[in-house]
Structure 1
Amino acid sequence: MTTNETVTTSAGTAGAPVPAPARRLVLPKLAPAFYQAMVAVDEASRTGLDPVIVELVKLHASMINGCAFCIDKHSTDAVAQGEQDHRLLSLPAWRETPWFTARERAALALTESVTLLTQGHVPDAVWAEAAEQFDETELAQLVALTATINAWNRIGVSTRMSPAAK
């Protein structure tokens, strides 16, 4: 959005953009050892995985969890790596598009199952599909990556991290 554009609110009136909810606390300042450990875990969770799959997994989990900060960060990171806009915009409907490879689809399905554990755990069919596309080491890294982004999402949502506060 440019500075000359207006935003229509849910009430239908035009006006200035609505500010993000106030951030509740700054975790890196208040729990620095934990925050640095999370940064290290995040880096370790990506080891050996295709950077495109890493960003798709992080973005998809962040969309499911509604973490605005992480959605902004990982969509920006994906674009910087050359990801195409139409794929990013189609991510919520990835099953309905032809844009994603078999490996990406398996990673996205596993991401959904791990992220939405209360909706049926990780079905055997989802695990089998992922195991067909990824070797055991990659599969372990995908589980680690998904667990890590879910932790980041919970930090971002609960503390109200905002993409506007970067």
Structure 2
Amino acid sequence: MTTNDHGTTAVGHAPEPTSRLDWAALAPDVFKAMVRLDAAAQQGVDPGLRELVRIRASQLNHCAFCLDMHTKDALAAGESVERIVQLSAWRESAHFYTERELAALELTEAVTVLTDGFVPDEVYERAAKHFEEAELAQLIAVITVINAWNRFGVTCRRVPGHHRPGRHK
């Protein structure tokens, strides 16, 4: 707590954490390969849907760095605050999303969590009804790549709050 110029006590923000490791600088070939993989995975996936999927996976993985990045990117691309806020409760807020988006979000959760060690057939089949095979393959790639980025971000404790839309990871 600090005392301001008016003599009242104010509660300040917690100090900004520091990253554990700058993995991108220490493993630049891996970082560059991830950037190329990310670019390849995005091909043919609707940008709005891509950001919703990235945000939801990052929520599940508790990756604050990626949440900061993809929320800002989604907003910059015209996504509504309401739909972004509701993502953590998308099942209860299904009316904010299209059937196609719901299928993608369900697939994102199944691929990200893998609690049963596999993606359930009914989840995969629901997604397959809304996406052509090539689109579905790309969507699965986007989900897989954001999960990899999340693991780097969480493990190395990348610090959120500094992303500006239009810049790369």
When the two structures are superposed, what TM-score results if normalisation uses the length of structure 2? 0.87
Give the one of 29, 37, 56 matched to 2:33: 37
Gaps of 5+ in 2: 3-8, 164-169
Partner of 2:97: 100
State the match for 2:115 in structure 1: 118
- Where does residue 89 of structure 1 map in the other structure? 85
Task: Give the structure with the higher percent helix.
Answer: 1
The letter of the residue matching 1:164 is G
1:150 aligns with 2:147: yes
Matches within 5 A, 1:63-78: 63-78=59-74
Give the structure 1 partner of residue 22 of structure 2: 26
Q: Distance in 1 between matches of 2:100 and 2:53?
A: 11
Kept in 1, the 8 Å contact 2:68–2:161? The answer is no
Q: Aligned residue pairs: how many?
A: 155
2:112 pairs with 1:133: no
Q: Say which SS state the counterpart of residue 44 (structure 2) adopts.
A: coil
Letter in 2 for 1:112: E
Q: 1:14 to 1:114 in 2, by over 3 A?
A: farther
Q: Cα RMSD (Å) of the superposition?
A: 1.6
Q: Is 1:162 the equivalent of 2:147?
A: no
Distance 1:21 1:14 in 2: 21
Shift of 1:120: 5.2
State the match for 2:166 in structure 1: none
Match of 1:109 among 106, 111, 118: 106
Which consecutive aligned stretches of 4+ in structure 1 deviate over 4 angstroms post-superposition? none
For residue 27 of structure 1, report the CA deviation from its aligned partner: 1.5
- Deviation, 1:28, is 1.7
Question: What SS does the corresponding residue of 1:118 show, helix, strand or coil?
Answer: coil
Q: Secondary structure at the match of 2:115?
A: helix
Q: What code does the residue aligned with 2:13 have?
A: P
Cα shift at 1:22: 2.1
Larger radius of gyration: 2
Percent of matched pairs sharing the same residue: 51
TM-score (norm 1): 0.89
- For residues 119 and 62 of structure 1, the distance between their equivalents in structure 2, rounded to whole angstroms, comes to 20
Is the partner of 1:95 in helix, strand or coil?
A: coil
